[in-house]
């Protein structure tokens, strides 16, 4: 059925629907109600107590009046349901809302009903237009209320009209089922045709909920099926590099040079990596763990396995400052092994860059550490066997694919210092095997976190003085480099000057992202060497400096930082034997969400708990921080709210593919037909085409 076949669908209305993304009858069926008016709960106006309770009332518009003058002008819209009247009152936007109502329309109000003398009114009610005219008895018991917009309103498309179109489509269209019958039976879901009827014309709220869950599950299931298929394809490839030898580089590093004992999590992750690279199939593994869990050692182990087998390794970092730190770390760790580690970043001079590129292409550069510069076209590896990506959530799926294309099916190891909530691991990282490092290195003490008001600033500064005199070092973190009148935040440069005046006997340093690389290097080196006692910084130290002696972090305007960012910042301390303290100093006024973030930080050091809380606050898109993240675009499902359905969909997708990899059984014919174009799209997106 074409949209143009629908009754009362003029060209103007067709254009309005298209502006809402509705181009076909199926699109219209997937235009779900935003809520329902349950007439069984619609209260008669004559029996309303008017004591401030939330109610739904519906009736005919009998008057639309502007009352009062000047600033006290208000709009009063009176409804009559045959038993009595209720007024909707607008004190703001009265002129605008007055154009919205016409006498004779049937309208529903939702809001707090309060009695004023003999009259009951609802201030700024939520409004649903049910029809242009008529009796409420013409409508089913549960009335669907569809999303509205300026375009739909201008074309005079209301919920009643959309409902009539839904009836036309459902009476003439044949909607095929593609979920296997066994799955529907196990999940107790309605068939697709019935589910659409239950969404648009539910007989109960439970019926609507069951149908909606079916559509949520449907899109989660297709996505997880595609991810399992991609994973299955990668694992079944026979042309992955085989790292047979665990030779001189790896054995010497872990048996002779490593100055500490590995944690259980590190040992487990290394064992999984070793199994992957010996399998003959391409490794595609995510190592995730909390701040300071020791993921870099796992990456070093994997890279040394590549070197033992005559291959090169690449290490991709999101920023130059982080790439430089990894370069220093790897160079220091591997100097006894005479490993040639090269740094490739965009700010290097042409002569140095040419030398590095020659070293990489010739094979002399065994490990290449760098930023996006590594995946540029002119960079050619001699025999890339392993690619490591740090802070995976800062890169797009396409960038991961570009790095893989630098070699012939190199193994891939991605790392995240931001613990990944389970729902994201099952979606964005569903094509990866996951290793989790939950334990921290021996001797690490839990960081004590406290919220301190501006009234306690003197106490905080005295604590800072005492700690420095006792041999500790301090971070003071600000959200801005220079003063911003618009945001009115304390800035790092002004804070630096104030601290110099307050502590003239101490050495104070300043670090921010606008400084030149050489300047940042000098400041960081001085702090590491204890030539700076207090380092004033912006968030550049979130991924910039590891100083075992740093024992206090004071975060100014802490309410302005995100949860994950606060957790990353806190992770810069607590890396030595000293007891460490993170002091959160918010402004006088803190929003509800800001207070929640601060309280969460004070209550737990568990990065996984913090990540889950952050995901709920910000949503998946903001949490990942990039449009290229690979976050699936679900129409109905919410990966945070629907984690249980997501887990069920993943488990079922895996079991179906294990039993029928090509979906060839009779029960899977319809599924295969729908899945084929969906999977092709995902293959292209994940760079496997």
Asked, for residue 631, whether it belongs to a domain, the answer is no
pLDDT on residue 625: 59
Angstrom distance (rounded) from CA 93 to CA 74: 8
Of residues 485 and 126, more confidence is placed in 126
My answer on whether 474 and 600 are in the same domain is: yes
Position 24 in a domain: no
Q: Are residues 75 and 97 in the same domain?
A: yes
What number is the average pLDDT over the span 411-428? Answer: 79
Which pTM does this prediction carry?
A: 0.67
Q: Does residue 225 sit in the same domain as residue 257?
A: no
What pLDDT shows up at residue 141?
A: 67
User: Do 478 and 595 have their domain in common?
Assistant: yes
Quote the pLDDT of residue 96.
Answer: 81
pLDDT(686) > 70 = no
Do 569 and 453 belong together in one domain?
yes
- Kindly state whether residues 40 and 127 are assigned to the same domain: yes
Listed residues 145, 161, 191: the one ending a domain? 145
Residue with more model confidence, 565 or 428: 565
| pLDDT value for 133 | 43
Domain C-terminal end among 416, 437, 458:
437
Q: How many CB atoms lie within 10 A of CB 327?
A: 21
Check residue 417 and give its pLDDT: 72
* In a domain? residue 290: yes
Q: Do residue 417 and residue 462 come from a single domain?
A: no
Question: Where is the domain boundary, 418, 437, 456?
Answer: 437
Number of domains in the chain: 4
Cα separation values, 687 from 146, 389, 404, 405, 681, Å: 38, 16, 9, 9, 10
Position 107 in a domain: yes
Is the domain of 230 the same as that of 275? no
The band of 234, judged by pLDDT with boundaries at 50, 70 and 90, is low
Flag whether pLDDT at 685 surpasses 70.
no
Report how far residue 109's alpha carbon sits from residue 87's, in angstroms, rounded to the nearest whole number: 9
Q: What is the CATH number of the domain that holds 47?
A: 2.40.50.140
Claim to verify: residue 381 and residue 267 sit in the same structural domain: yes
Residue-wise pLDDT tens digits, 477-520: 998 877 666 666 778 899 999 999 999 999 999 998 788 877 88
Each residue's pLDDT tens digit, 16-52: 999 999 999 999 999 999 888 776 677 889 999 888 8
Residue 629 has pLDDT above 60, yes or no: no
pLDDT tens per residue across span 334-376: 999 999 999 999 888 899 999 999 999 999 999 999 988 888 8
Can you read off the two tokens belonging to residue 36? 């329902």
CATH code assigned at 479: 3.40.50.300
Range of the domain at 284: 248-437
164 domain residue, yes or no: no
Assign 581 a pLDDT band (cuts: 50, 70, 90): very high
| Residue 138 pLDDT | 45
Are 395 and 316 in contact, with CB atoms under 8 Å apart? yes
Each residue's pLDDT tens digit, 632-677: 778 899 888 888 999 899 999 999 999 999 999 999 999 999 999 9
Please tell me whether residues 591 and 680 are part of one structural domain: no
Q: Per DSSP, which regions of 293-351 are E strands?
A: 312-316, 341-344
Confirm if 509 and 532 have CB atoms less than 8 A apart: yes
DSSP 8-class letter at 339? -
* Nearest in space to 68 (alpha carbons), one of 41, 100, 92: 92
Same domain, 293 and 353: yes
Mean pLDDT lowest among 4-18, 331-345, 529-543, 612-626: 612-626
Residue 451's closest CA among 296, 627, 581?
581
Does residue 630 fall inside a structural domain?
Answer: no
In a domain, 615, yes or no: no
In this structure, are strands 411-416 and 35-38 parallel, antiparallel, or unpaired? unpaired
User: Does 378 score more than 80 pLDDT?
Assistant: yes
Mean pLDDT of 370-391: 89
The verdict on residue 268 lying in a domain is: yes
User: Are 73 and 200 in a shared domain?
Assistant: no
């Amino acid at each position: 059925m074409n949209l143009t076949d629908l009754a009362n669908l003029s060209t103007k209305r067709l254009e309005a629907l298209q502006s809402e993304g509705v181009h076909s009858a199926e699109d219209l069926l997937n235009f779900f109600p935003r809520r329902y008016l349950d007439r069984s709960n619609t209260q008669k106006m004559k029996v309303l107590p008017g004591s401030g309770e939330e109610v739904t009332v519906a009736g005919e518009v009998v008057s639309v009046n502007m009352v009062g003058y000047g600033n006290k002008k208000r709009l009063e819209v009176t409804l009559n349901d045959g038993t009595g009247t209720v007024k909707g009152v607008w004190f703001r936007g009265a002129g605008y809302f007055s154009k919205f109502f016409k006498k004779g329309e049937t309208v529903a109000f939702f809001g707090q009903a309060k009695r004023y003398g003999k009259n009951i009114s609802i201030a700024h009610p939520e409004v649903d237009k049910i029809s242009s005219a008529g009796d409420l008895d013409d409508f089913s018991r549960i009335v669907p209320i569809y999303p509205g917009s300026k375009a739909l309103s201008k074309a005079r498309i209301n919920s009643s009209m959309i409902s009539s179109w839904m009836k036309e489509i459902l009476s003439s269209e044949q909607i095929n089922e593609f979920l296997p019958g066994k799955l529907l039976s196990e999940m107790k879901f309605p068939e697709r045709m019935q589910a659409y009827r239950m969404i648009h014309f539910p007989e109960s709220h439970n019926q609507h909920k069951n149908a909606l869950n079916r559509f949520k599950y449907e899109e989660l299931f297709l996505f997880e099926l595609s991810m399992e298929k991609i994973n299955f394809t990668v694992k079944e490839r026979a042309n992955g590099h085989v790292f047979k030898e665990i030779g001189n580089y790896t054995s010497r590093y872990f048996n002779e040079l490593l100055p500490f004992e590995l944690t259980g999590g590190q040992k487990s992750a290394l064992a999984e990596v070793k199994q992957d690279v010996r399998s003959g199939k391409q490794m595609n593994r995510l190592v995730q763990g909390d701040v300071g869990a020791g993921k870099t050692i796992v990456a070093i182990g994997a890279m040394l396995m590549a070197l033992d087998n005559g291959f090169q390794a690449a290490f991709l970092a999101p920023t130059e400052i982080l790439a430089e730190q990894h370069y220093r770390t790897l160079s220091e760790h591997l100097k006894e092994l005479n490993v040639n580690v090269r740094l490739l970043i965009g700010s290097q001079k042409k002569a140095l860059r040419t030398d590095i590129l020659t070293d990489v292409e010739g094979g002399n550069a065994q490990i290449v550490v760098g930023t996006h510069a590594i995946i540029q076209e002119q960079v050619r590896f001699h025999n890339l066997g392993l690619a490591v990506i740090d802070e995976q959530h800062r890169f797009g799926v396409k960038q991961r694919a570009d790095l893989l294309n630098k070699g012939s099916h190199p193994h891939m190891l991605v790392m995240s210092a931001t613990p990944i909530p389970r729902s994201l691991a099952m979606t964005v990282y569903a094509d990866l095997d996951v290793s989790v490092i939950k334990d921290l290195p021996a001797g690490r003490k839990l960081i004590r976190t406290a919220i301190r008001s501006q009234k306690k600033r003197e106490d905080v500064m005295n604590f800072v003085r005492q700690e420095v005199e006792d041999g500790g070092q301090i971070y003071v973190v600000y959200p801005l480099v220079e003063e911003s009148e618009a945001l009115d935040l304390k800035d790092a440069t002004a804070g630096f000057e104030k601290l110099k005046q307050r502590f003239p006997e101490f050495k104070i340093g300043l670090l921010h992202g606008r400084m030149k690389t050489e300047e940042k290097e000098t400041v960081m080196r001085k702090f590491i060497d204890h030539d700076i006692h207090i380092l004033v910084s912006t968030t550049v130290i979130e991924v910039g400096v590891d100083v075992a002696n740093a024992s206090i972090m004071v975060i100014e305007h802490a309410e302005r930082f995100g949860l994950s960012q606060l957790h990353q910042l806190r992770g810069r301390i607590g890396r030595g034997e000293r007891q460490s303290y993170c002091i959160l100093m918010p402004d006088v006024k803190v929003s509800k969400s800001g207070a929640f973030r601060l309280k969460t930080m004070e209550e737990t050091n568990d990065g996984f708990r913090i990540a889950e809380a952050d995901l709920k606050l910000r949503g998946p898109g903001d949490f990942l921080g990039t449009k290229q993240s690979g976050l699936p675009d679900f129409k109905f499902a919410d990966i945070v709210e629907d984690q249980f359905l997501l887990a069920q969909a993943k488990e079922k997708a895996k079991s179906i593919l294990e039993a029928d990899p090509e979906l060839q059984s009779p029960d899977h014919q319809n599924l295969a037909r729908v899945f084929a174009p969906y999977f092709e799209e995902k293959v292209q997106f994940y760079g496997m085409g």
